[in-house]
C-alpha cells in the first residue's frame, strides 16, 4: 500500500538513530559519555545540509539515576538524570537543541523493573506490611526453601532472590539488582504512567519501552515447561534458555496495560510508542493493537536473525508485509546495544553496506545503531575488561560490551570520544575508521550512508511507497518501491560472486546509488544488469 508522504507521521518518515549515552561523546572528560557530549554532536546527526545524515529522531538508552548494575537499565528514579550524564537542565537543553535541528527525542522507558536502590523497593523490602510491599513481586519459598517457581533469569541463575529481612523471595528476570514491579497493582500503574507524563511535559516525543511484553506475568506464576530443543551446551546457570517462556511473558492481559500506556501517550499530540518485543509473528503483531490502539512501532528484530541470503531476507519481508493489518506500519532493526555489530554479524564491510541499503529502502521505519554508519565492528574485550553482567555471569562470548565501545570520531587519542581512557576500550581500527577520516573519502561507508539517507529522505517512493518483490534467480533480492509519480528499483546481490540478472518488466534505469559508490549516475541495461560481489543498487526506473 502506498502512503502519501505528507500524510506520514514523523515516526514513519524518520530514521531512528540509537545513542548509547555512555559511549557516544564525553564532554566533561571522565571517560563516560554524557548529555553535553550528545548536544555537541547533534550537528553531525543533522545540520540541515544535504550531506548531513539528516537523522529525524534519536533514541537514548537510559540516563536515569542508577547504580549501573545493568548500565542504566536498573533505574533508581524515573524522573531525573544521573549526575554521570548531567542534569535535568542539560536534558532540557538537549531537547531544545535537537528540536531546533528537526530531531525528535525518544527516551528509554524501563517499566518492568527498577533498581534495588529505587526508593519504592527500599520501602517494599523494609517490611511485609509496608504500603509498597505489593508494588513488587514477593512470594514465600516452597516448603523445602527453594524459590517459588522454576523461572530463570536472562542473566543466569534463578529469577528469584531470597531476602532474609522479611523472609520472602522477590522476582527479577534480569540481575538481582533489578526487582520486578507488580503492574497488577493500580498504584504501580498510576506511578509509571505519571513518569511518561513527566517526560512528555519536558518535550519528549517518544519512548522505547524495555521488555514491555514482560510487565504482566501469569497470575498464578506457574512453572515454565522445559524447552526440548534447548542447546545442550548451555552454561549450567543458564536456566532461562532451558525453558519455554509460556508464563513469564506475553500474557494476554498485557495488552490492557499497553492500551493504558498508549492512552497516556495520546494525552499529548503526536507521541510515539516503540516496544522491545519478541516472540512469534502472530503474537507479536498483536502489540499494534486491534485497531492500532497499542504501540506504533513494536520493534521488529527479525532481519538480524536471518541467514545471509537473499531468499531468507525476502521471505521475512514478504511475510511481514502479509502479516501486518492495514493500519500497522512496518519497522526493521539491524543492530542495538544488546547485539553483535552488524558488520561482524554479516561477515564484513561489503555486507554491512548491502544490509544498510536493504534497511534504508524497505517500507517502514529503520532503526540504526550509533557507529554502524562507520562500519564499526565488534570491539575486542579482554577477560579483565568485561563489564556487562551478561558477560560476567554467562561467559565472555556472551558479553554485550563488544557493541558498546566508544564512538569513533577522529584519529586522535581515544578516537576523539574523550580526553581520558574511556570506560570500555576504543576499537583498534579507530585511526582509519572514524568520522573525520571517512568524511574525506568519497567512497567510504560513511559517505555511502550519507548518500543513502539523503536519497531516502528525498524520495516519496522510498518513504511511503508500496513494496513489491520481483522474482529473480540466484542470490539477488530485488524489489520496487512506488508511489504516485515516482518509482525506485532496489537490486541487492547477496553472493560473494558477481552476478548478471534480468529484471522482469524493466528495460533500463539510472543508478541513483551503488553500494561501491563508483557507479552513481550511470545508465544501465536492466535486461542484463551486472553486479559485483555484495553489490547493491537503488535505481531510478
Ligand atoms: C533489554 C535491554 O535492551 C537490555 O540492555 C537490558 O539489559 C534488559 N532489557 C533489561 O532491562
Ligand atoms: Ca562524561
Residue 318 has a pLDDT of 98
Confidence of residue 222 (pLDDT cuts 50, 70, 90): very high
Centre of ligand 2 to C-alpha 540, Å, is 45
110-141 residue pLDDT tens = 999 999 999 999 999 999 999 999 999 999 99
Say which CATH number the domain at 127 has: 3.90.400.10
The answer on 337 and 197 residing in a single domain is yes
242-268 residue pLDDT tens = 999 999 999 999 999 999 999 999 999
Residues in the chain: 541
What is the mean pLDDT of the segment spanning 336-343? 98
Please report whether residue 483 resides in a domain. yes
The answer on 344 and 273 residing in a single domain is yes
Total structural domains within the chain = 3
Please report whether residue 178 resides in a domain. no
Calpha distance 30→493 (Å, rounded): 45
Short-list 273, 349, 281, CA closest to 315: 281
The answer on 213 and 298 residing in a single domain is yes
Short-list 261, 180, 259, CA closest to 221: 180
Helix axis angle, 445-457 relative to 349-361, nearest 10°?
10
Centre of ligand 2 to C-alpha 521, Å, is 44
Residue 369 has a pLDDT of 98
What is the mean pLDDT of the segment spanning 57-76? 98
Centre of ligand 2 to C-alpha 66, Å, is 15
For 216-281, the DSSP string reads S--TT-PPPPB-TT--TT--TT--GGGB--SSSS--TTHHHHHHHHHHHHTTSTT-EEEE---S-H
Domain finish residue from 453, 486, 515: 453
Please report whether residue 461 resides in a domain. no
Say which CATH number the domain at 254 has: 3.20.20.80
Which ligand has the minimum distance to the alpha carbon of residue 84? 2
Confidence of residue 1 (pLDDT cuts 50, 70, 90): low
Domain finish residue from 419, 453, 487: 453
Q: What is the mean pLDDT of the chain?
A: 97
Say which CATH number the domain at 485 has: 2.60.40.1180
Please report whether residue 424 resides in a domain. yes
The answer on 302 and 205 residing in a single domain is yes
CA distances from 50 to 54, 55, 145, 447 (A): 8, 12, 65, 12
Smallest CA separation from ligand 1 atom 10, residue: 73
Please report whether residue 269 resides in a domain. yes
What is the mean pLDDT of the segment spanning 208-223? 98
Please report whether residue 459 resides in a domain. no
Query: The whole model's pTM is what?
Result: 0.97
The answer on 374 and 506 residing in a single domain is no
Ligand 1 and 70: CB distance under 6 A: yes
The answer on 298 and 190 residing in a single domain is yes
The answer on 232 and 162 residing in a single domain is no
Residue 484 has a pLDDT of 87
Is it the case that residue 6 has pLDDT exceeding 70?
no
**Residue 110 cell numbers, joined:** 524501563
Ligand 1 and 398: CB distance under 6 A: no
Please report whether residue 356 resides in a domain. yes
Burial (CB count within 10 angstroms: exposed 0-12, middle 13-18, buried 19+), residue 252: exposed
Is it the case that residue 5 has pLDDT exceeding 80?
no
Is it the case that residue 105 has pLDDT exceeding 90?
yes
What's 449's DSSP letter?
H
Bridge partners of 486? 483
What is the mean pLDDT of the segment spanning 418-424? 98
The answer on 48 and 22 residing in a single domain is yes
The answer on 425 and 347 residing in a single domain is yes
Ligand 1 and 210: CB distance under 6 A: yes
The answer on 283 and 211 residing in a single domain is yes
Bridge partners of 272? 206
Calpha distance 377→369 (Å, rounded): 12
The answer on 155 and 10 residing in a single domain is no
Ligand 1 and 74: CB distance under 6 A: no
Taking each continuous run of H as one helix and of E as one strand, the counts in the chain are 15, 19
Ligand 1 and 462: CB distance under 6 A: no
* Helix or strand holding residue 354 (H, E): helix 349-361
Please provide residue 423's backbone torsions phi and psi, each rounded to the nearest 5 degrees: -65, -30
**Ligand 1 atom closest to 338 (CA):** 5
Please report whether residue 458 resides in a domain. no
- For 167, the domain range is 119-171
User: Where in the sequence numbering do the catalytic residues fall?
Assistant: 210, 267
Is it the case that residue 521 has pLDDT exceeding 60?
yes
Q: Return the exposure string of 216-244: e unless at least 16 CB atoms fall within 10 Å of the residue's CB, then b.
A: bbbeebeebeeeeeeeeeeeeebbbebbe
The answer on 496 and 425 residing in a single domain is no
Amino acid at each position: 500500500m502506498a502512503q502519501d508522504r505528507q500524510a506520514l507521521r514523523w515516526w514513519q518518515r524518520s530514521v531512528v538513530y540509537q545513542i548509547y549515552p555512555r559511549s557516544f561523546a564525553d564532554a566533561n572528560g571522565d571517560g563516560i559519555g554524557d548529555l553535553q557530549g550528545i548536544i555537541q554532536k547533534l550537528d553531525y546527526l543533522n545540520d540541515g545540509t544535504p550531506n548531513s545524515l539528516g537523522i529525524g529522531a534519536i533514541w537514548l538508552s537510559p540516563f536515569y539515576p542508577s547504580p549501573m548494575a545493568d548500565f542504566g537499565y536498573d533505574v533508581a528514579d524515573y524522573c531525573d538524570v544521573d549526575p554521570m550524564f548531567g542534569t535535568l537542565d542539560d536534558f532540557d537543553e538537549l531537547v531544545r537543541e535537537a528540536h531546533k535541528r528537526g530531531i525528535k527525542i525518544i527516551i528509554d522507558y524501563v517499566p518492568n523493573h527498577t533498581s534495588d536502590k529505587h526508593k519504592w523497593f527500599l520501602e517494599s523490602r523494609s517490611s511485609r506490611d509496608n504500603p509498597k510491599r505489593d508494588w513488587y513481586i514477593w512470594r514465600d519459598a516452597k516448603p523445602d526453601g527453594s524459590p517459588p517457581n522454576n523461572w530463570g533469569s536472562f542473566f543466569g541463575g534463578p529469577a528469584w532472590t531470597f531476602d532474609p529481612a522479611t523472609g520472602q523471595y522477590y522476582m527479577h528476570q534480569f540481575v538481582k539488582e533489578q526487582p520486578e514491579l507488580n503492574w497488577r497493582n493500580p498504584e504501580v500503574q498510576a506511578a509509571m504512567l505519571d513518569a511518561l507524563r513527566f517526560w512528555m511535559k519536558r518535550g519528549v516525543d517518544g519512548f522505547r519501552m524495555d521488555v514491555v511484553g514482560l510487565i504482566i506475568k501469569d497470575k498464578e506464576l506457574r512453572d515454565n515447561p522445559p524447552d526440548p530443543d534447548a542447546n545442550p551446551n548451555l552454561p549450567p546457570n543458564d536456566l532461562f534458555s532451558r525453558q519455554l517462556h509460556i508464563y513469564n511473558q506475553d500474557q494476554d492481559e498485557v495488552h490492557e496495560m499497553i492500551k493504558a500506556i498508549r492512552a497516556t501517550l495520546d494525552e499529548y499530540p503526536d507521541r510515539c510508542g516503540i516496544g522491545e518485543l519478541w516472540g512469534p509473528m502472530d503474537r507479536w503483531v498483536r502489540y499494534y493493537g486491534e485497531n492500532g490502539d497499542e504501540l506504533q512501532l513494536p520493534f521488529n528484530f527479525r532481519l538480524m536473525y536471518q541467514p545471509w541470503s537473499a531468499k531468507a531476507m525476502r521471505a521475512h519481508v514478504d511475510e511481514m508485509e502479509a502479516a501486518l493489518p492495514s493500519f500497522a506500519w512496518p519497522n526493521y532493526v539491524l543492530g542495538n546495544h544488546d547485539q553483535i555489530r552488524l558488520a561482524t554479524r554479516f561477515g564484513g564491510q561489503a555486507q554491512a553496506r548491502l544490509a544498510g541499503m536493504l534497511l534504508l529502502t524497505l517500507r517502514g521505519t529503520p532503526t540504526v545503531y550509533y557507529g554502524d554508519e562507520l562500519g564499526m565492528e565488534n570491539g575486542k574485550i579482554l577477560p579483565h575488561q568485561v563489564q556487562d553482567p551478561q558477560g560476567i555471569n554467562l561467559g565472555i562470548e556472551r558479553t554485550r560490551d563488544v557493541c558498546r565501545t566508544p564512538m569513533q570520531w577522529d584519529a586522535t587519542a581515544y578516537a576523539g570520544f574523550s580526553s581520558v581512557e574511556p570506560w570500555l576500550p576504543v576499537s583498534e581500527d579507530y585511526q582509519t575508521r572514524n568520522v573525520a577520516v571517512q568524511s574525506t573519502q568519497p567512497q567510504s561507508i560513511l559517505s555511502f550512508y550519507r548518500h543513502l539517507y539523503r536519497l531516502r529522505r528525498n524520495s516519496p517512493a522510498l518513504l511511503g511507497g508500496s513494496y513489491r518483490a520481483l522474482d529473480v534467480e540466484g542470490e539477488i533480492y530485488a524489489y520496487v518501491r512506488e508511489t504516485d509519480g515516482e518509482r525506485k528499483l532496489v537490486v541487492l546481490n547477496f553472493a560473494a560472486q558477481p552476478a548478471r540478472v534480468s529484471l522482469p518488466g524493466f528495460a533500463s534505469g539510472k543508478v541513483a546509488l551503488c553500494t561501491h559508490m563508483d557507479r552513481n549516475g550511470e545508465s544501465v541495461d536492466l535486461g542484463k544488469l551486472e553486479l559485483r560481489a555484495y553489490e547493491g543498487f537503488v535505481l531510478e526506473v
